[in-house]
Every structure is written in structure tokens, then in C-alpha cells.
Amino acid sequence: MPLMKSWLDSANNPDCPFPLNNLPYGVFSRPGASPRCGVAIGDMILDVTAMEKAGLIRLADKPVLDRPEWNAVMALGPDAWTRLRKLLFGFLADGSAMRSEAERHMVPMAGVQMHLPFAVAEFTDFYAGKNHAQNVGEMFRGAENALPPNWLHIPIGYNGRASSVIVSGTDFRRPWGQIKGPQDEAPRFAPSQRFDLELELGAIVGQPAPYGQPVSVAEADAMIFGYVLLNDWSARDIQAWEYQPLGPFQSKATATTISPWIITRDALEPFRCAGPERVQPLLDYLQEPGPMFYNIEMEVELTPKGGQPTVITRTNYREMYYSSAQQLAHHSTAGSGMRVGDLLGSGTISGAEKDSRGCLLELTWGGKEPVTLTDGQTRTFIQDHDRITLRGQCRGDGYMLGFGDCAGTVLPALDRPFRR
């Protein structure tokens, strides 16, 4: 699909992440004003909360854009999602007769504050990248036993904390936790020293799966409203002590950073691609009815305090082994139901080459092979005041479709973690 022209010149720049082809959804606020729903276009934001109030957008019998979240729009279903996208095209396309109405509700992107774009109902993180699982398994169990026996048959995941999800630009403190090194006789309570990033894609569930009703992969795909970049920060030393036998717990509960713009499934349609060749046949309920992956170029940048940024990895979402639709379908099989606003983390996205690995644990091979930054500093894991930025983009014919930065800075741990 070629670039769709807008009357807004900045949206037609081939290097702009928010052309008319994209139209991602977010929540923003100007100084002194309350958060509201907006749509990114070029270097501007279309205030759709104000447009609904003015009667220019009507999706239901009652307002759905009058709150600082997109959940009410999600709940309307795919037909309403498509209708809204067509309405926005009508306001923003080159030659639009509605240009003047849209111009009155445009806000410069520069200077606004971004907020979580939706209310997170629940959060589940998966372990669905084969290269990542192979590398981590090899580090801890050896090459012959790297993948657990179930890995090639089932998308492995764990239920995380929805309260840990924060929007890009929100800084947080290094966590405390129980740590026990291989030579220690007993655990100690201390700040994590092996704090890590995880490059992931987050899928947002826009339609519910009723209690007791599993969904197919095709149905799951249609239930996904859109996607965000996701950094599932990980305290590796806390995790090493706690994860047996039930998996991650406190090591994953510090923060989960997401990018502020929801890239809709409709916008990503031109970038669908097939998944990997299966090592083992999947059970019928996990079979894909068609391409379920996307060609999304991704990178991670590390910037030390007062230092220069360094891109430490580049990879692509198509490297994953299980798609978000497969993960959602599998999630539904136990019958617990899925909610509007559920968030599914893809798992760490790593390529086959060393410079395409999606976390420092892999990049430094457990801390044994430090990464060298632009200014000569080295890293095995994240140090205090390091800023980590995730980026993702799809390249079309004369345009780029971007996600917006997913960034956060790790601040020093509290001197005293308890008030008393």
C-alpha cells in the first residue's frame, strides 16, 4: 500500500512515523488540562474527545471518547473500529471537505504529556521467542536441554501485575528483593544488581471472551484492537532465586513500560507475514488460518546519564515463534475468560545473530561478554540513571509506520525500602 496523502504536510514526510496510513490512538494532556483521547497525525494530535463533544464524531448512542482511555471504543467491537478509522480518513485526507473542522481540533504534539492509552484489565507475559528461549536455556541448562519439552508445543506464559504497567517516559526505582548467588549460603535482601530490559510487542484485547468460552486463533486475531511496544523489565538476580518451581514473581513486578500510541490492527494489515517453519506440528487449536505475524523492525537504545545513546540491538517481530493471536487463543482454553483491556506481552524478541538479541542477559551472555557503548563505557546489566528506549517501525511504499518511543530511566533504589 502506498502513502495515503493528508492535507497536513508533516504527515506526508516519508520519515514521519504518523502518516495517514497509521492514525494511532493515545491519551494526552496539555499543561493545566485534563487527559483526553487523541489521534496522532504528522506532528499534531487530533483531539477526538473535543470532536465527539462537538458532534463531529458519533460512534454510539452515548459518548465513548469522553474519558481518558480507549476502552469504551474497544468495547464497541470491530465494526465500530473500522467506522472510526474511515471517519478519521474523511477528516484528514488530502482534499477533505471537513478540513476546517479538523483544524480547529488540532493540538501540536510538542509539549503535551502522554498517558496510558487504555485501562489495563490484566497483564500476561509470554516466553514465545525461540531464539530467546534457546539462548537462555543454553546458558542455564546447556545446548542439549535448552528448550523445555513443552516449548515447541505450547506458548508458555505467566500472569503478571496489571498495576506494573506504566507509560513511556515514566521513570522508576531499581527494585529490592531476595537475592542468593550460587556461592551464597543464604539469601540476602538487597537492590537488584542484574537489572535488565526485555524487547517485546504488547497486544491489546479489544473484545471479551466470555467465561467458559475458548476462542480460535482466527477469532482471537479479530479480538485484538491494536499493539504497543512493551519493555518487561526484569530483575535477573531476583528471578534466579525465586523462579523455581512457579516461575517469575517479584522479579517482573517492578515495571512494564508501554509506548503511548496504540497502533491498530487495521493499520498493520499491509505488514502481515507468515510465521516460522514449525519444528514440531502444533495441535489443531493453535494452527494459523493465515499469516499472523508482522514485519516490524525493532531496536533498543541505551543512553547513560550525560552520555551518548547507543543502539545495542536490532531485530524484527517476525522472529517470534508464537503470534499474539495464538497466545490469546491458548489463554482462553482454560475458560477463565478475557476482558477488554487485557494486555499480552509477546515475550522477548530476539534474532539469530548476537546483535539482534532482545535483552542484556543474552547480549552479554549472562554478564560474561559486556556490551561497549559509543563513549567507551561497558554494560553487563542496566546501571542507575541508564535510559532504555525501544523503537519499532514498519516500512511501506514511500512512508514509515511508527509506534513512538517506549522509554524509561532506572533510578537508584530507595536507601530505605521500608518506612519504619
- At 362 the three-state DSSP class reads helix
How many Å apart are CA 322 and CA 153, to the nearest integer?
10
Of 50, 172, 35, whose CA–CA distance to 116 is shortest? 35
In a domain, 420, yes or no: no
Q: What is the pLDDT along the chain (420 residues), one digit of tens a residue?
A: 899 999 999 999 999 999 999 999 999 999 999 999 999 999 999 999 999 999 999 999 999 999 999 999 999 999 999 999 999 999 999 999 999 999 999 999 999 999 999 999 999 999 999 999 999 999 989 988 899 999 999 999 999 999 999 999 999 999 999 999 889 999 999 999 999 999 999 999 999 999 999 999 999 999 999 999 999 999 999 999 999 899 999 999 999 999 999 999 999 999 999 999 999 999 999 999 999 999 999 999 999 999 999 999 999 999 999 999 999 999 999 999 999 999 999 999 999 999 999 999 999 999 999 999 999 999 999 999 999 999 999 999 999 999 999 999 999 999 988 876
**For residues 356 and 319, what is the distance between their CA atoms, to the nearest angstrom?**
10
Give tens-digit pLDDT for 209-241: 999 999 999 999 999 999 999 999 999 999 999
Residue 31 DSSP class: T
Closest CA to 140 of 246, 231, 243: 243
On whether both 66 and 184 belong to a single domain, the answer is no
Distance CA 36, CA 16 (A): 23
Name the region of 185 (left: φ>0; alpha: ψ -120 to 50; beta: rest). alpha
* Domain finish residue from 65, 86, 115: 115
Q: Based on the domain organization, do 200 and 343 belong to the same domain?
A: yes
Contact 390/201 with Cβ under 8 angstroms?
A: no
**Residues 33 and 130 occupy one common structural domain:** no
> What's the pLDDT score for residue 318?
97
Q: Are residues 51 and 150 in the same domain?
A: no
Residue 409: beta bridge partners? Answer: 387
| 207 lies in the same domain as 355 | yes
Whether residues 233 and 320 share a domain: the answer is: yes
3-state secondary structure of 189: strand
Same domain as 139, residue 75: no
Question: How wide is the angle at C-alpha 296 spanned by C-alphas 358 and 236, nearest 5°?
Answer: 15
Long-range (24+ apart) CB contacts under 8 A made by 144-153 are 151/127, 152/278, 152/279, 152/280, 153/280, 153/282, 153/283
Question: Does residue 100 belong to any structural domain of this protein?
Answer: yes
365 in a domain, yes or no? yes
- Could you tell me which of 298, 253, 290 has the C-alpha nearest to residue 272? 290
CA angle, corner 385, sides to 305 and 115, nearest 5?
Answer: 110
For residue 168, the SS3 value is coil
Within 10 angstroms of residue 304's Cβ, the number of other Cβ atoms is 19
65-95 core/surface letters (b: 16 or more CB in 10 A; e: else): bebbbbbbbbbbebebbeebbebbeebbeee
Point out the domain boundary residue: 62, 92, 115. Answer: 115
Per the domain annotation, does 223 fall within a domain?
yes
* Contacts of 38 by beta carbon, 8 Å cutoff, 6+ apart: 25, 26, 27, 28, 45, 46, 47, 48, 49, 107
228 pairs with which residues across the strands?
Answer: 202
Check whether residue 209 and residue 63 sit in a common domain: no
Peptide bond connecting 63 to the previous residue in cis, omega within 30 degrees of 0? no
Spatial distance between the Cα atoms of 167 and 386, rounded to a whole number of angstroms: 17
Strand partners, 78: none
Buried b (16+ CB within 10 A) or exposed e, 260-283: bbbbbbbbbeebeeebeeeeeebe
Asked if 310 and 231 sit in the same domain, the reply is yes
Q: Whose CA is closest to 187, among 235, 141, 240?
A: 240
pTM: 0.97
**Three-class secondary structure of residue 372 per DSSP:** strand
- What domain range includes position 334? 123-411
**Does residue 60 fall inside a structural domain?**
yes
User: What is the per-residue pLDDT for 420?
Assistant: 65
* In-domain check, residue 384: yes
Instruction: Check whether residue 200 and residue 296 sit in a common domain.
Output: yes
**Which residue numbers are catalytic?**
132
Report the CATH number that the domain containing residue 164 is assigned in CATH.
3.90.850.10
Are 257 and 198 spatial neighbours (Cβ–Cβ below 8 Å)? Answer: no
**CA distances from residue 35 to 66, 73, 121, 406 in whole angstroms, order as listed:** 10, 16, 19, 19
Q: Residues 109, 127: one domain?
A: no
Number of domains in the chain: 2
Q: What CA–CA distance (Å, rounded) separates 405 from 209?
A: 31
Residue 417 in domain: no
Straight-line distance from the first to the last Cα atom of the chain, in angstroms, rounded to the nearest whole number: 60
Of 71, 90, 115, the residue that ends a domain is: 115
Query: Is the same domain home to 47 and 130?
Result: no
Using CA atoms, how far apart are residues 369 and 313, in angstroms rounded to an integer? 15
pLDDT (0 to 100) of residue 140: 87
Give the separation between CA 274 and CA 33, rounded to whole angstroms.
Answer: 44
Residue 55 maps to which CATH number? 2.30.30.230
Residue 416 lies in a domain: no
